[in-house]
Amino acid sequence: MPILKAVTLIEKTPSGIDYHDSFAKHSFNAVIARLMEQPAKILTNLALQSVAPYGYSIIEQEREGYKDEPLKVKHIQSMDRPDLPITCDKEAHTVLLVSKVHRNLAIDSLLEFSNVSTNPYQPGPMAAVGPRPQKTDQVDVIKAMCKPTISDRELCSKWLDIKPQMRPAVWSPASTVSDTYKTGSIEFHRECMKADITYFETACLELDFSVFAAMMFAAGKRVKQVPRLNDGPPPCCGKIKPVTFLLSQQLPGSYSPES
């Protein structure tokens, strides 16, 4: 009987355009935020400890948020730092491999759950599932890339119209696009915009649960693809530090969603 009631409740929830600011959507966000709160904190602290010896830290970036309001998101510096030359150096190689671990497991994006409210009556600036938050300069790049053809201009115009009507999210239905198209290419942006528009028009509780399940399954698969830190260094790099050593480093203080 409880399962039947749950199915009936899901069938009665809004869908499409009406879903994005509904209580059902906010409740889903709250449940996922509460579910991910402790895992996100633990994984983030481990990730920070693995890169802190090399000068990495949490950084704050400004993105375009709900209703075009500025949105502050936190990330771990898991990409190569501009001031860290990638040379034939064992520390640089270690950092590069640790970065791949963070990217493969999407650990750096877990910090964004601090922007997802655990109270459905007071929704936060971000959602668990939806379009990814964009940098303003990245939006300008996308608009410039879409100028040459009428179809791309129309697609971009529609995407710009619907984007402010949805809260940016930690996980997106467009997350798998990078597996097919080169990140940053016009094909990549075109498919991401199509995915966001489709989500805007067809979003519902079942779709959000499907995306959440897909992201969890994908993370499980990516664990097997994480590069081992003792594999593949150039001959001149020598033996690099294993992940067990990196994770044993003591980091002064630790991350909490409130910080």
> 167-190: per-residue pLDDT in tens?
999 989 887 776 678 888 899 999
Distances (CA, A) of 130 to 9, 52, 152: 21, 31, 22
Contact partners, residue 187, CB within 8 Å, separation at least 6: 181
73: left (phi over 0), alpha (psi -120 to 50) or beta: beta
Helix (H) or strand (E) holding 48: helix 23-51
Q: What percent of the residues of the chain are helix, what percent strand, and what percent coil, each to the nearest 5?
A: 60, 10, 35
Highest mean pLDDT: which range of 42-51, 54-63, 161-170, 180-189: 161-170
End-to-end CA distance of the chain: 43
**Given a cut of 80, is residue 221 above it in pLDDT?**
no
The pLDDT assigned to 94 comes to: 63
